[in-house]
Structure 1
Amino acid sequence: MDKSSAAAIDKGRYVKIGTFALKIIALAAMLLDHLEGTFPDTFPVALSWTGRIAIPVFMFCVIQGLLHTSNTRKYLFRLYIGSAVMAAGSFILQIIVSEARFQIADNMFATLFLLAVLISLIRTKLALKKKVRLWIIFIVTQMISFLLIIRLQTAAKSCAYLANGLIPNVITNQGSVLFLMLGLLMYAFRNNRLKFSVMYLAYCLLMLASAGFSGFTVQNLFYGNYQWMMIIALPLMLAYNGRRGRSLKYFFYAFYPLHIWLLFLIGNFVQRK
């Protein structure tokens, strides 16, 4: 939400938090989610319910980052480096741990980078010809990366994972097109809290309806297909006060890959016992 929406938010009577606090909350939720995912017999599934707020909140923060950054290129570059480092590090780690019981499949940086690129293409004030040229380059790159990743998946999934981090694709990224669509809708309705809320609630209800195709049962909705629980992220995003707060950007960039790599090593070590 931009300055005008931030001013409206400041008039509200509820807890107000900046992007720093939002990132800390999302980071904690993500860690709990990954703990349950790595050790499902040790931690309750409720931790993964909490983890559903992570990606929506991080996407929200990326949108705010784009709106307030003084250098869009550097912002995009940092996200891309995060995606590439995450992919390369995970690829090397999985080669070293050759008999791993489970693989690393997540690369949230790739999704956030793609969202940032799409929003930047929409927001650019370049001349029409240059803007069209950029869209053509993006689409062609996406077609090439998709064909490459699909080809690699039949040969070696670890190579496909690496390719997806180096050349992020809108279809094969974490969350696929669905999360990118949500991010673009969040950007489109950023200036109106009511429309933003209705859009987000509708999206979560569609997720719930989709999950219901496998049965509206407690087992399915709470232990199988519970992505709809991302609805609990809405109050956090509505509490945004338009300010950044403290800046520990490199901490967030480092924490994501490091905690996944550490859990990968611990998880595989424990399962070998």
Structure 2
Amino acid sequence: MSETDVNLNLKKLTSFDIKVIAFALMIIDHVGRLFFPQAAIFVIIGRLSFPLFAWLAAQGEKYTSDIKKYIFRLLVWGAIAQPIYGKFYYLVFSVHGELNILFTLALGVITIRCTKLVESKFFKFLIVIAFMVVAELLRVEGRISGLIIIYLMSIIDLQSAKWWFFFIGYRLLFIYLNQWSYVELFGIASVGILALYNGEQGGRSKPFYKWFYPLYPLHLGVLLLIKFWLNSQMN
């Protein structure tokens, strides 16, 4: 068996499989933050989710037949989820929150598409910088860091030392500048999941294929209801 055959055998995940994994990791993260705030393992596992969502957004931008419809869908479901997300965020962090991840993904997709409209690397750089400022001003989840991840996932090349340098380097920089917890480093491991991607989309025949967008506000709402019920039982 050749080395190529071995690599093909290892790559067994479709983009649909990765989407399922990303949602599962996100739910674990949210369960931990809401119900087990002292247990770091939930957050550590959850750190793997955003880079996967960033990659999925970049893939969506690359292969969608209607970019406007794709962005519109992200924004609509982001708006629907925002009141629920805001309540969730306040319960977890005791401060009023930011715009949820769907707005981050929408802004990232717009950034990627805009960079494709110019040839110059310098102008591409300026476009990314401009949208980084927008991310900060709009207070989307992840802010500048989140936008950088999405853009890096649009040019992902696991064989490139330069790509790895930027992916790991930016993460270390933001952890240092923002005095983030060491658990943020675990997000780097998500690339190991992406390395198993087999190049296929998959999942369209699944009955719940179109449920991923509503699943975001739905799972937050369910977790909040459980939290409120538990609080009422203790009072």
- After TM superposition, the score normalised by the length of structure 1 is 0.66
1: distance between equivalents of 2:166 and 2:187? 13
Across the two proteins, how many residue pairs are aligned to each other? Answer: 214
Hey, what does 2:190 align to over in structure 1? 233
Output the aligned Cα RMSD.
Answer: 3.6
Displacement after TM superposition at 1:70 (Å):
1.2
| Aligned counterparts, 1:34-183, within 5 A | 34-40=30-36, 44-88=39-83, 105=97, 107-124=100-117, 170-171=135-136, 172-183=139-150
Computing the radius of gyration over CA atoms, which structure comes out larger, 1 or 2? 1
Q: Deviations over 1:170-226 (max 9, x none)?
A: 110001111101221222x32563243343233333355457x58xxxxx63xxxx2
The answer to whether the Cα contact below 8 Å between 1:52 and 1:227 also exists between their aligned partners in 2 is yes
| Aligned counterparts, 1:172-211, within 5 A | 172-187=139-154, 189-191=155-157, 193-194=159-160, 195-207=162-174, 209-210=176-177
Hey, what does 2:124 align to over in structure 1? none
Displacement after TM superposition at 1:111 (Å):
0.7
The answer to whether the Cα contact below 8 Å between 1:186 and 1:196 also exists between their aligned partners in 2 is no
Return the letter of the residue paired with 2:145: L
Which of 260, 268, 271 is the matching residue for 2:220? 260
Q: Secondary structure at the match of 1:193?
A: coil
Displacement after TM superposition at 1:249 (Å):
4.5
2: distance between equivalents of 1:240 and 1:123? 24
The answer to whether the Cα contact below 8 Å between 1:17 and 1:240 also exists between their aligned partners in 2 is yes
Q: Deviations over 1:58-78 (max 9, x none)?
A: 010110111111111111111
- Closer, same or farther: CA 90–64 of 1 in aligned 2, 3 Å: closer
Displacement after TM superposition at 1:251 (Å):
1.3
Hey, what does 1:158 align to over in structure 2? none
- After TM superposition, the score normalised by the length of structure 2 is 0.76
Hey, what does 1:166 align to over in structure 2? none
- Closer, same or farther: CA 24–177 of 1 in aligned 2, 3 Å: same
2: distance between equivalents of 1:75 and 1:10? 35
Gaps of 5+ in 1: 1-7, 95-99, 126-134, 147-168, 215-219
1: distance between equivalents of 2:163 and 2:209? 26
The answer to whether the Cα contact below 8 Å between 1:69 and 1:75 also exists between their aligned partners in 2 is yes
1: distance between equivalents of 2:73 and 2:111? 16
**Stretch deviating more after TM superposition (191-200 or 63-72):** 191-200
2: distance between equivalents of 1:271 and 1:110? 30
- Closer, same or farther: CA 193–82 of 1 in aligned 2, 3 Å: farther
Identity of counterpart residues, as a percentage?
25
The answer to whether the Cα contact below 8 Å between 1:10 and 1:241 also exists between their aligned partners in 2 is no
Return the letter of the residue paired with 2:106: F
